[in-house]
Amino acid sequence: MNSKDVIIIGGGAAGFFAAINIAEQHPHLKVTILERGKEGLQKVRISGGGRCNVTHAEFIPSELVLNYPRGEKELLGPFHQFMTGDTIEWFEKRGVALKIEEDGRMFPVSDSSKTIIDCFLNEAKKHKVEVLYNESVKKIAPSSHNEIADVEHQFKVETQTDTFYCKKLIVATGSNSKIWKVLEDLGHSISAAVPSLFTFDIKDDRINDIPGVVAQNVEVKVVGTDLYSEGPLLITHVGMSAPAILKLSAYGALELAQRNYKFDIEINFVKQSLEDCIENLKECKLDFAKKTVFKSPQFELPKRLWHKLVLASDIAHDTRWAELNRQQLESLASQLTQAVFSVDGKSTFKEEFVTAGGVELKEINFKTFESKLHKNLYLAGEVLNIDAVTGGFNFQNAWTGAYIISKSI
């Protein structure tokens, strides 16, 4: 009989982190990872453009949870148990130093996800974690006491090639619809998955031909909703990206899916009211009277973006500030503070596909990450209906849940 103490379904970030910590704390336990692919840790490999955005330099739990559109309330307690500082210490103790970038994201000093992957593989080997690849789980069932009479609450795990039995079972499969179906068969409720982190597809003359331009600090809102975000905005070949857009996509994941990703956004490029902007432009009219508006970018806006917004305001290339009429002045202020763009579709952010959806959070005990429906069944990472904005937060959720499971076991 293929019997293990602990089986972990999913060889990703949460799966490996749980396995290593369990095996380290309990050397006598037989710990096995079942991974459906021919290799694991694929999301770790591509995260942060191949550098692996391990976590974020936010060290206050009540502030950290604000980055989770789904899971904010539930993660507050767990973050008091295992936080970003604990993550940094965990990796440093194993020879992986992390660094903080200007935006707070944290990466290995090596700037390579291979450093994190090698650390996990080495630690798994050192602590005798068994990793079985090409093992796609088809079914989970609490096994009858007749099958294994000596221990209660055991699980039978069927893959396409084998059948395993275990005392404790951890599901860390990320956004895997097949496993969600398996968990649904066990009685768990699943919130339907929709994309969470994505960029906006926009065709508009005001942003054509200027990919790579960054407006450093803008306000964006979805017209007709309460959805709002702020931060840097990047103009891309197909539309808009960067934190201001990605945060909006995460918090608006459900609503924007219902709109089939067709909606309008209003952007305030200068974070001023229309009235204040008009007054500031009037001062420019006096200060730069003889200069052309086109060649005099204001509000620290990138030149190429300023040029586009000036032309969109019906101001010609050679118009001088002194020549601006009231209508042109108000039109430019409007473009700067309340420019409306029509979004028509979405694109995946880099290769980092994050979803909103998963096992309903009310069915999990967040002191242990154990299922409230099945004793000794634990869930960690994005298999739960938890997701975060970009910046290392999704990984921190994985590390925290996996570590708490290891302490619970």
pLDDT value, residue 290: 95
Class of 3-194+351-408 in CATH: alpha beta
Structure tokens that stand for 280 in this block: 């500031």
pLDDT value, residue 144: 61
d(CA 54, CA 69): 19
Return the sign of the alpha-carbon dihedral for residues 288, 293, 299, 302.
negative
pLDDT value, residue 147: 53
pLDDT value, residue 348: 81
Contacts of 149 (CB under 8 A, 6+ apart): none
Show the low-confidence residues of the chain (pLDDT under 70). 144-153, 349-353
Query: What predicted TM-score, i.e. pTM, was given to this entire model?
Result: 0.88
pLDDT value, residue 151: 54
| pLDDT tens by residue, 276-309 | 999 999 999 999 999 999 999 999 999 999 999 9
pLDDT value, residue 353: 64
Cβ pair 358, 71 in contact under 8 A: no
d(CA 176, CA 244): 28
Cβ pair 113, 44 in contact under 8 A: yes
Return the sign of the alpha-carbon dihedral for residues 99, 25, 134, 378.
negative
pLDDT value, residue 145: 47
Q: Where are the domains of the chain?
A: 3-194+351-408, 198-348
| pLDDT tens by residue, 159-218 | 999 999 999 999 999 999 999 999 999 999 999 999 998 999 999 999 999 999 999 999
pLDDT value, residue 270: 97
